[in-house]
Amino acid sequence: MVTYGELSAFDRMAADARLAPDLERRAAMSEMAAVEIANYGRLAARLGALGVDPETAMKPYIDVLGAYHDSTEPRDWLEALTKAYVGDGVADDFFREVAAFIDEPDRQLVLDVLHGSRYQGFAVAEIRAAITADPKVANRLSMWARRLVGEALSQATRVSGQRPALIALIIDRAGDQAAVQQLFRRMTIAHTARMSAAGLNN
Amino acid sequence: MVTYGELSAFDRMAADARLAPDLERRAAMSEMAAVEIANYGRLAARLGALGVDPETAMKPYIDVLGAYHDSTEPRDWLEALTKAYVGDGVADDFFREVAAFIDEPDRQLVLDVLHGSRYQGFAVAEIRAAITADPKVANRLSMWARRLVGEALSQATRVSGQRPALIALIIDRAGDQAAVQQLFRRMTIAHTARMSAAGLNN
């Protein structure tokens, strides 16, 4: 799921870079996309080393990740940035939580491919600047972020129905239902903090 | 021109990767695109170090490179690969010739960002395999390659009309008109060899 997530993130961010208002910003998002495909290479190599065909391993996630991206096609640069920041942020939080349940060296590999702070700093600075220039932007992007989270949860529910092994991993390793609830509470808190950091409201 | 060439090559190759018949090939072209944006970063940094705003320096080439790409939008994976192989090959030959006329360290930087042989090997192997599977493909891709070269020459003529300094650089540094003709003869020979290597005819 992480591997195909990287491959599709590359594709979508590369396309979203076209929404940039100037070449410098277009290059910045293109460079972010390039990080995703480099991460893809590391993950695909690890799958290969485990004797798993990357194509086969990724196949179950093509539809859900495609549906998420298709239903959250940004219409402008700020929506693209917000998607990269909020959408990838929530996904990162989830993968970070799940990484705690898997063994090394895979745990570290998953943590390594999560998005760095430099990346988030760029999105936050751009979104805040846009809100300063036009305060109405905050409301529009807050609504957009809620839609992103809604679509992500919708697809996550779909995956969990189709891939019970993923749910079993989380519930078994977390320990009990209360621990799973705590996991989602941590994710909610992190999401709220991320929204505030960019001047958005939940 | 090289800097914007890299930025637009990233954009177009990232989009063309969607034409790949499977995820492995899609990833391979996405990785090629990522190399272009990494090269863009090196070139933009060098422009900055020279006190030139990359955006200003790239602006004169946006229209011509955009026109080239718009008029050579691949319809399938083999056209995309042929474009990456033939189109970038001709551009590389041209930039390699012009690099000989500029001073270090810029000469080496331009040579560094030209496409490596690994990249060309992948395209050649794919094109040859497709021709083996269906010999008619050779004719179709040969025609496509001629169109690519035609469109590239058309835009090169446009650039030379708009940017006399580029032509002056070549003519002055090459020495005389005969030397310029030799330059284009070398490019023609290299192009023919490249076509043959992929099983295409000129």
Q: Using 50, 70 and 90 to split pLDDT, how confident is the model at A137?
A: very high
In eight-state DSSP terms, residue A24 is H
Residue B148: per-residue pLDDT: 92
Main-chain dihedrals φ then ψ at residue B39, nearest 5 degrees? -65, -40
Q: Give the burial class of B68: count Cβ atoms within 10 A of its Cβ; 0-12 exposed, 13-18 middle, 19 or more buried.
A: buried
Residue B156: per-residue pLDDT: 84
Percent helix / strand / coil, chain A, rounded to 5: 85, 0, 15
The answer to whether residues A202 and A143 touch, using CB atoms and an 8 Å cutoff, is no
The answer to whether residues A28 and A118 touch, using CB atoms and an 8 Å cutoff, is no
Name the minimum distance, in Å, from the CA of B41 to any CA of chain A: 8
Lowest-pLDDT range of A16-30, A53-67, A181-195, B174-188: B174-188
Taking CB atoms and an 8 Å limit, are A30 and B22 in contact across chains? no
d(CA A190, CA B112): 43
Give tens-digit pLDDT for A81-91: 999 999 989 98
pTM for the whole thing? Answer: 0.86
Give the torsion sign (CA, A165, A166, A167, A170).
Answer: positive
**pLDDT tens digits for chain B (202 residues)?**
999 999 999 999 999 999 999 999 999 999 999 999 999 999 999 999 999 999 999 999 999 999 999 999 999 999 999 999 999 899 899 899 989 989 999 999 999 998 776 778 899 999 999 999 999 999 999 999 999 998 988 888 888 888 888 888 888 888 888 888 888 889 889 999 999 999 998 7
Q: List CB contacts (< 8 A) between A40 and chain B.
A: 27, 30
B-chain residue closest to A17, CA distance: B11
Residue B164: per-residue pLDDT: 83
B-chain residue closest to A29, CA distance: B37
Residue B55: per-residue pLDDT: 95
d(CA A150, CA A146): 6
Residue A174: per-residue pLDDT: 80
pLDDT mean across residues, chain A: 91
Check CB contact of B30 with chain A, cutoff 8 Å. yes
Average pLDDT for A98-125: 88
Q: Using 50, 70 and 90 to split pLDDT, how confident is the model at A9?
A: very high
Question: How far lies A193's CA from each of A76, A112, B10, in Å?
Answer: 24, 22, 34
Please give the distance of CA A64 from its chain centroid, rounded to a whole number: 13
Q: List CB contacts (< 8 A) between B24 and chain A.
A: 54-55
d(CA B64, CA B70): 10
Q: List CB contacts (< 8 A) between A11 and chain B.
A: 14, 17-18, 26, 30
d(CA A69, CA A65): 6
Q: List CB contacts (< 8 A) between A18 and chain B.
A: 11
Q: Is the pLDDT of residue A117 over 80?
A: no
Residue A143: per-residue pLDDT: 93
Name the minimum distance, in Å, from the CA of A5 to any CA of chain B: 12
A82-118 b/e with 16+ CB inside 10 Å = b? Answer: bbbbbbbbbbbbbbbbbbeeeeeeeeebbeebbbeee
Looking at this predicted complex, what is its ipTM?
A: 0.81
Please give the distance of CA A81 from its chain centroid, rounded to a whole number: 12
Greater confidence, B184 or A200? A200
